[in-house]
Amino acid sequence: MQMEDQLRRAEQKYDELTERLQDGSTAADPAKLAALMKEYKLLTPVVEAYRSYTACRETLEEIALMLADPETDAEFRAMALEERKTETERLCELEAEIGRLLMPENAADTRNVIVEIRSGAGGEEAALFAHSLHRMYSMYAERQGWKQTVMNLNETELGGTKEVIFSLSGDRVYAKMKFESGVHRVQRVPETESQGRVHTSTVTVAVLQEVEDVELELNPNDLRIDVFRSSGAGGQHINKTSSAIRVTHLPTGMVVECQDERSQYKNKDRALSVLRARLFARAQAEQDAQVAAARRTQVGSGDRSEKIRTYNFPQSRLTDHRIGYSMYRLDDVMNGDLDPVFEALLAAEQAEKLAAQKGAEA
């Protein structure tokens, strides 16, 4: 009944917003119009699902009356039974959908992120796959209209990536990228392999929430900042100007380097941004460990040591081990088509949350 009341209130509010949006005076106030439209868009999927749910329930009531009528002939009864089965399945789907829609949104989902990709086991092949993963996320970000800023890049002579740190900013970045932290395993014939044998290599990915200095203040006395000359590919300024920055957080021993910008000040700002994100993630992990009830689900655990996914190139198969999900369009995924994977992970996360919510209410 509590959910029913919540849905009725949402429908009432939706109808009120519809009337206000149709009022000519609303259009004359752009700020007011934008605020109402935002609220209207948030309520629309909830109300549409509720109305479909109500219609489905009414249909089932009509079918029940038809089946209870002794004058209903055998042919109509068989049709009614088949329709009851379909409508019952639909009702269950709508109940689950409404449950997901009514779940409070995680405030962190709207944050921008800092992504760290590092080659793991597998030598040069791991570095080449780290480069491929960075390209995959870059292409996905472009599809989403997100802005990417590379903060640090350490490349190999063969075009691989030992480490890359970059930020992604835009609409609901963390909501999509939060599932990517962990060990990514690749099975393929390396470009460096002349015998055509399939090798297995690993790459680690860490997705950190970007935090403002007002959320996590750094004590200058806790920082050691070193300036040095950039190294590696990057232009004529390399090894000529001391623009690269190394920040050491003395209490934790955490070290961040940024050398992608020519400006020493920009590199310093970016290094501090990465440091804040890492310290924030560390604090969250400690809190999760202390409070078992607040521990994240397996889908969104973000454990960097957990093998989360395998990319099998000979079979063109991607497998996400956390939810047992597989798909056979690996080329599309590597070209940035990550939405099917993210949607499956989100559905699994929502199902776990819904189950936990029902368990708490029982």
Q: What is the pLDDT of residue 85?
A: 94
For the segment 36-76, what is each residue's pLDDT rounded down to a tens digit?
A: 888 888 889 889 999 999 999 999 999 999 999 888 888 98
Angle between helices 339-361 and 74-102 (to 10 degrees): 90
Residue pair 204/225 in contact (Cβ under 8 Å)? The answer is no
Q: What is the pLDDT of residue 232?
A: 54
Residue pair 53/102 in contact (Cβ under 8 Å)? The answer is no
For the segment 160-192, what is each residue's pLDDT rounded down to a tens digit?
A: 999 999 999 998 899 899 999 999 999 998 766
Between CA 163 and CA 74 the distance in angstroms is: 70
> Has residue 284 got a pLDDT over 80?
no
Question: Which segment, 196-205, 235-244, 259-268, is predicted with the most confidence on average?
Answer: 196-205
Question: Looking at the DSSP assignment, which residues form a beta bridge with residue 307?
Answer: 183
Q: What is the pLDDT of residue 179?
A: 92
Between CA 211 and CA 202 the distance in angstroms is: 28
CB atoms within 10 A of CB 70: 4
DSSP 110: G
pLDDT category of residue 357 using cuts at 50, 70 and 90: low
Query: Mean per-residue pLDDT for 218-239?
Result: 67
DSSP string, 59-102: HHHHHHHHHH-TT--HHHHHHHHHHHHHHHHHHHHHHHHHHHHH
pLDDT category of residue 340 using cuts at 50, 70 and 90: very high
Query: Strand (E) positions, the chain?
Result: 113-119, 147-155, 161-169, 182-188, 199-209, 223-228, 244-249, 254-258, 307-312, 317-320, 325-327
> pLDDT > 90: what percent of the chain?
39
Between CA 220 and CA 215 the distance in angstroms is: 16
Between CA 245 and CA 232 the distance in angstroms is: 15
Between CA 335 and CA 354 the distance in angstroms is: 33
For the segment 62-121, what is each residue's pLDDT rounded down to a tens digit?
A: 999 999 988 888 898 999 999 999 999 999 889 878 877 777 667 778 889 999 999 998
Q: What is the pLDDT of residue 225?
A: 84
> pLDDT > 70: what percent of the chain?
83
Tokens of 202: 């690993």
For the segment 188-225, what is each residue's pLDDT rounded down to a tens digit?
A: 987 666 677 888 999 999 999 888 765 677 888 888 88
User: Residue 48's closest CA among 97, 104, 103?
Assistant: 97
Residue pair 153/195 in contact (Cβ under 8 Å)? The answer is no
Indicate the pairing of strand 147-155 with strand 325-327.
unpaired
